[in-house]
Amino acid sequence: MTMEQTLSPFVLDVSDLSVEIDGREGRVIRPARRLSFRVGRGRVVGVIGESGCGKSMTALSILRLLPTAARIAGGQVLFDGVDLLKKTPRQMREIRGRSIGMVLQDPSVSLDPLFTIGDQIDEALAVHGKMPAAERRARAIELLKAVGIPSPADRLEQYPHELSGGMLQRVVAAIAIAWNPALLIADEPTTALDPTIQVQVLDLLRDLRDTLGVSIMIITHDFGVAAYICDDIMVMYAGEVVETGPVRQIFDKPGHPYTRALMQSSSVPEGDGRLPTIDGQPPDLGALPRGCAFAPRCVLATEQCRQEAPPMYALSDIHSAACWRAGEVTP
Ligand SMILES: Nc1ncnc2c1ncn2[C@@H]1O[C@H](COP(=O)(O)OP(=O)(O)O)[C@@H](O)[C@H]1O
Ligand SMILES: [Mg+2]
């Protein structure tokens, strides 16, 4: 059997992942509860949901970079068939440097203001291998070209403050792809950028997928971003996966009332030009209601919804939603 035949069609396969944070006064906050989702090889998968629903905690648990107050309370994170939750911190550093690239919201957090762009790319290249310095320099230039940075040789000598936000995010992407990772995790990579630059960075990510075959998990609170770049999406609400499927199927026929509300709130501006928001507030992650967590805000909620948490309901073989009334949601 060749290597190809043994590869799963999913680069990432997360099941029952739960995260707990010790809050004030002995409270336990649950930003991720029994999450299950997969990232197909060569796909762009969006994780979408309102601020505070647990998107970043989910990404950080996959990367094993949770803040100290938070811990993984259970589950499995299979990356290329191997459970990342069983890896040592040292093995994880190696995996993060080589096999899983990261692009975070604010590029200035990922880059050190005291070192040139060239130094920082060089460090990423030097840390995992024995590439000679001249070869690393050539590779750094090649990486900057790959992420669409003009005059790459000149950029190597510059410091982060000399580059715009969009250019810095390209540098972060260059470092993320330095070792041809199988997976790129991007947490709100365009949120801090101007709208025109946002589109350029999204186009870059898609180009990287097309040219390098890297799978991408992109976190966003903006359905427009997801619709623009993603093949598949997983919608999160209050620490749970509430809908998964191909973005087109979900766009045409959302299975969860929350997904529909999120789509409406990000696509059609109201008369005054502002986007409508969803009425009500997400629940406190330390004191969740007993039934469906969305029921208090849901126009379709029934007594059953308030009493019993819904299971995942299959709308097609690749599209599911956690809603008692999934089949009745109108686009
Ligand atoms: N450092 C922290 N300490 C305590 N609670 C936190 C911390 N970071 C996040 N949380 C809790 O975890 C929840 C999920 O956070 P996060 O994953 O950052 O949300 P998102 O990325 O979807 O905006 C928050 O609503 C908050 O209650
Ligand atoms: Mg976040």
Q: How confident is the model at residue 39 (pLDDT cuts 50, 70, 90)?
A: very high
Structural domain ending residue among the three candidates 178, 203, 237: 178
Scanning 11-116, the segments in alpha helix (DSSP H) are: 55-63, 89-98, 107-110
From the number of C-beta atoms within 10 Å of its C-beta (0-12, 13-18, 19+), residue 265 rates as: middle
Strand segments (E) across 41-136: 44-48, 70-79, 82-83, 100-103
Those residues whose C-beta lies under 8 Å from the C-beta of residue 319, and which sit 6 or more positions away, are 243, 244, 245, 246, 249, 250, 255
Is pLDDT at 158 greater than 80 in this prediction?
Answer: yes
| Segment 11-23, tens digit of pLDDT | 999 999 999 999 8
CA–CA dist 48, 55 (Å, integer): 7
Query: Does 216 share its domain with 269?
Result: yes
- Predicted pLDDT of residue 82: 95
Please tell me the distance between residue 70's alpha carbon and the centre of ligand 1 in angstroms: 9
57 C-beta closer than 6 A to ligand 1: yes
Please tell me the distance between residue 57's alpha carbon and the centre of ligand 1 in angstroms: 7
Is pLDDT at 173 greater than 90 in this prediction?
Answer: yes
Q: Which ligand sits closest to the CA of 31?
A: 1
Q: What is the domain count for the chain?
A: 2
CB of 175 closer than 8 Å to CB of 2: no
* Residues of the domain holding 294: 3-99+183-328
How many other CB atoms sit within 10 Å of the CB of residue 24? 7
Please tell me the distance between residue 60's alpha carbon and the centre of ligand 2 in angstroms: 10
- Predicted pLDDT of residue 15: 98
55 C-beta closer than 6 A to ligand 1: yes
| Segment 78-103, tens digit of pLDDT | 999 999 999 999 999 999 989 999 99
Query: Does 294 share its domain with 171?
Result: no
Query: Does 202 share its domain with 245?
Result: yes
Q: Which ligand sits closest to the CA of 104?
A: 2
Is pLDDT at 181 greater than 50 in this prediction?
Answer: yes
- Predicted pLDDT of residue 200: 93
Return phi, psi of residue 218, to 5°: -115, 125
Query: Does 151 share its domain with 264?
Result: no
Query: Does 172 share its domain with 205?
Result: no
- Predicted pLDDT of residue 6: 65
Return the best residue to mutate from 53, 188, 191, 240 for the ligand 1 pocket (most ligand atoms within 8 A of CB).
53
Query: Does 24 share its domain with 119?
Result: no
